[in-house]
Structures are given as structure tokens and as C-alpha cells.
Amino acid sequence: MASSAKQAAASQEELAAAPETAAAEAVAAPVAEARSKKGRGTRARRKARAARTASQPEVARKPRRKSAAAKRARRSAPETNEPKVSSSELIRRYIAAHPRQKAKDIQAGLLAEGVEVQSGLIRMVLSKSGKRKSKRRQRAEATAVVADTSFAGSVGFEQLVEVKKLADALGGLEQVRQAVAALDQLR
């Protein structure tokens, strides 16, 4: 009887715990289902992507984009077995054949020959070769120091004092006026 009592007690505990586990299982089931649909992580996504791409025929795959360097190399690759010549060397050769042309004219001429170069590269080759000297800016001449013109139209106090001394030395204001009139006639 002791064993049956233990079994009964255990079954009662299971019944009491059953609602809690049922609730936990009810919450866990949708989470597990969502994980299985979505995939657990990066590895599952990679496997799925590999499976998709493996099932596609070769024609349906997009070609990879070529790098800019590969495009330039293909564009400037010579059709014959001549050794490859740099753009700078082509510019130097064109300048030797056409010595007095500007950068834009050189660029247009090289483009007509089938060589595409930037005008900045042409200018650099010209300056490095010494064909075109950079223009130096001339220094602006120093401006002359101008006298203070704040009292240009008016007479200052110090000047009035000097005129008074002159008037006293000449014998009055009338003699100063006669001296100024004589100065005007001399000019």
C-alpha cells in the first residue's frame, strides 16, 4: 500500500504541474515553429542559399561585375603583340609630334587616336617635362603710406597757433593777407 500511496501522490503532483507545463508548451510551440521556418542562424541561411543556387541552371546565374581595373586593362589592351605603353608615354609622344598644343587639344588628339586620358595627367606630364612653366604671380607693389587725411578740409588747433605767431611777427592780420596774396601771384 505504501507504493500505491506514493504513486497516487506522484500522479497528483503531475496533475498539479500539468497546467504549468501545458502553458509553457503552448508558448514554446510557436517559437519553435517560427525558428524552424526561419532557420536558426547564418549557417542555415547559407545552406538554403546554396541549395537554391545549385538547383538553378548555369545560364540563369548573373555574371559577376568586373572591377574597374579589369575594365581599364581590357579597354587599353593592345590588339597586337606590341608591348604595352603607358598613358604618360603616349602623351609624351603626342607632345613631341605636336609641341605647341594645349592640354585640351592634346586630349582631343589622343582621343581621336583611341587613347582616353584625363586632362590632369596631360598637365602633369607637361609640367614635369618642363615644356610648360608654371606662371608665377607677380608680387603686388607696396602701397605708399598716405598722410592722415582726417583734418584735410579743416585747420587744426596747432596750425591756428602757428598762424597767430606769424600774424604777430608780421604786424597783424592785414599784413598776413597781403603776404598770402603775394604768394598766389608767384604761383
Q: Are residues 108 and 88 in the same domain?
A: yes
Q: Is residue 1 part of a domain?
A: no
Q: Is residue 23 part of a domain?
A: yes
CA 131 to CA 102: how far, in whole Å? 11
Q: Is residue 169 part of a domain?
A: no
Q: Are residues 72 and 125 in the same domain?
A: yes
Q: Are residues 35 and 72 in the same domain?
A: no
What pLDDT, on a 0 to 100 scale, did the predictor assign at position 64?
73
Q: Are residues 48 and 79 in the same domain?
A: no
CB 123 within 8 A of CB 105: no
Q: Is residue 117 part of a domain?
A: yes
CA 25 to CA 90: how far, in whole Å? 78
Query: Which position has the higher pLDDT, 174 or 58?
Result: 174
| CA-based end-to-end distance of the chain | 152
Q: Are residues 42 and 72 in the same domain?
A: no
- The residue segments making up the domain with residue 42 are 7-56
Q: Is residue 138 part of a domain?
A: no
CB 51 within 8 A of CB 82: no
Q: Are residues 52 and 72 in the same domain?
A: no
Secondary structure letter of residue 58 according to DSSP = G
Q: Are residues 83 and 123 in the same domain?
A: yes
Domain count, the chain: 2
Q: Is residue 84 part of a domain?
A: yes
What pLDDT, on a 0 to 100 scale, did the predictor assign at position 49?
77
CB 87 within 8 A of CB 121: yes
Q: Is residue 31 part of a domain?
A: yes
What pTM does this model have? 0.32
* Amino acid at position 81, single letter: N
CA 155 to CA 151: how far, in whole Å? 7
Q: Are residues 50 and 78 in the same domain?
A: no
CA 88 to CA 122: how far, in whole Å? 8
Which band of pLDDT confidence, cut at 50, 70 and 90, is reported for residue 11? low
Q: Are residues 72 and 110 in the same domain?
A: yes
pLDDT digits (tens, 9 = 90+) for 135-164: 677 777 777 776 666 555 677 888 888 888
**Cell 607696396 appears where?**
142
- Report the chain's mean pLDDT, rounded to a whole number: 75
pLDDT digits (tens, 9 = 90+) for 115-129: 899 989 999 998 888
Q: Are residues 72 and 51 in the same domain?
A: no
Q: What is the mean pLDDT of residues 74-88?
A: 72
User: What CA–CA distances, in Å, run from 98 to 116, 131, 137?
Assistant: 17, 12, 28
* Residue 109 reports pLDDT greater than 60: yes
Q: Are residues 40 and 72 in the same domain?
A: no
- Give residues with Cβ within 8 angstroms of 48, minimum separation 6: 39
- What does 75-112 look like in DSSP terms, one character per residue? HH--SSSPPP--HHHHHHHHHHHSTT--HHHHHHHHHH
CA 163 to CA 7: how far, in whole Å? 137
Q: Are residues 48 and 75 in the same domain?
A: no
Q: Is residue 12 part of a domain?
A: yes
What pLDDT, on a 0 to 100 scale, did the predictor assign at position 43?
77
